[in-house]
Structure 1
């Protein structure tokens, strides 16, 4: 399957750009649960306030076609149509996604089973072998939208850097052991079976307790979204 994308430019009746943007944002809320919809972003023209643009990314053409069929009777579509400038019909450009920052590849069909300890330990390559192990099995699992990591930290050892994300939130689950997390200016204690959500723009780093710390990390894939801060928790 090949992802498909399109860029659609809508022009509102004079002075109705805000109402049009609101109507399209309401439609976007419904897209969150639409099968195959990977991205549906609404933007408004900075210099053209009556112009609203929708950027779409779909898992494949079949999902896009099915979504279009389902929109025929949607009330939000009729609201959008009523706000459009009749002299300027929507302009649509069909695109073939090639890649780049933020591009979400289509996930493969079927299932993938992987024992996490079989994923490559990347810690030595980052000069972190003395801290523990760091496995990032996202690619080996064939995940298209979800990122996964497994961190195993030795007793008393701490990540030599902090990191944060501009958009993505992450979930950290303690599989074994205990430890601490520094979250901006706060330090919290972690124990087995604790689950810690860390939102965007929160800088975080972790430290193993007396028995060490094993963390499973899950979050959305956002290529290029991370920032590493060496020596942040010193």
Structure 2
């Protein structure tokens, strides 16, 4: 077993816009050299929304660092309090959005570490 580890102060990394939604995020995969998961910190300003999507193979963990957060899951709009974690299986439609007046910050981790795993939401909801 390796005793190597990586550490980064997220606030010291300049967020970059997502290619698909334009939402600012810090890609911790790059920063930490992750090989078995895809963690990112997302910053949603008022009015921002990630695309409504599902995954091909990634299970995802969503954790509200600063909120409260808002999510649409399988067509249902939910309030997600700060400090709350949500697990979503690959085939379930999901979206993180901010329809409030304050910034929301999320830690989102997908595994396995598939790249370009997102796809448009299905028409089921």
Q: TM-score range by the shorter chain?
A: 0.7 to 0.9
Distance 2:33 2:111 in 1: 14
Q: CA RMSD in A?
A: 2.5
Aligned pairs (5 A) from 1:55-66: none
Gaps of 5+ in 1: 1-34, 36-107
- Say yes or no: does 1:191 pair with 2:92: no
Distance 2:60 2:21 in 1: 24
- Say yes or no: does 1:180 pair with 2:70: yes
CA contact (8 A) 2:64 2:83 kept: yes
Tell me the CA shift for residue 198 of structure 1.
0.9
Distance 2:49 2:110 in 1: 22
**Equivalent residue, structure 2, for 1:111:** 5
- Say yes or no: does 1:210 pair with 2:104: no
- Say yes or no: does 1:169 pair with 2:59: yes
Tell me the CA shift for residue 174 of structure 1.
0.4
CA contact (8 A) 1:155 1:212 kept: yes
Q: Out of 117, 139, 143, which is 2:30 matched to?
A: 139
Gaps of 5+ in 2: none
For each residue in 1:51-73, what CA deviation from the matched residue of structure 2 results, as whole angstroms up to 9, or x when unmatched? xxxxxxxxxxxxxxxxxxxxxxx
Tell me the CA shift for residue 123 of structure 1.
0.7
For each residue in 1:46-94, what CA deviation from the matched residue of structure 2 results, as whole angstroms up to 9, or x when unmatched? xxxxxxxxxxxxxxxxxxxxxxxxxxxxxxxxxxxxxxxxxxxxxxxxx
Aligned pair count reads 121
**Equivalent residue, structure 2, for 1:154:** 45
Identify the structure with bigger relative contact order (alpha carbons < 8 Å, sequence gap 6+).
2
For each residue in 1:163-186, what CA deviation from the matched residue of structure 2 results, as whole angstroms up to 9, or x when unmatched? 221222111110002231111211
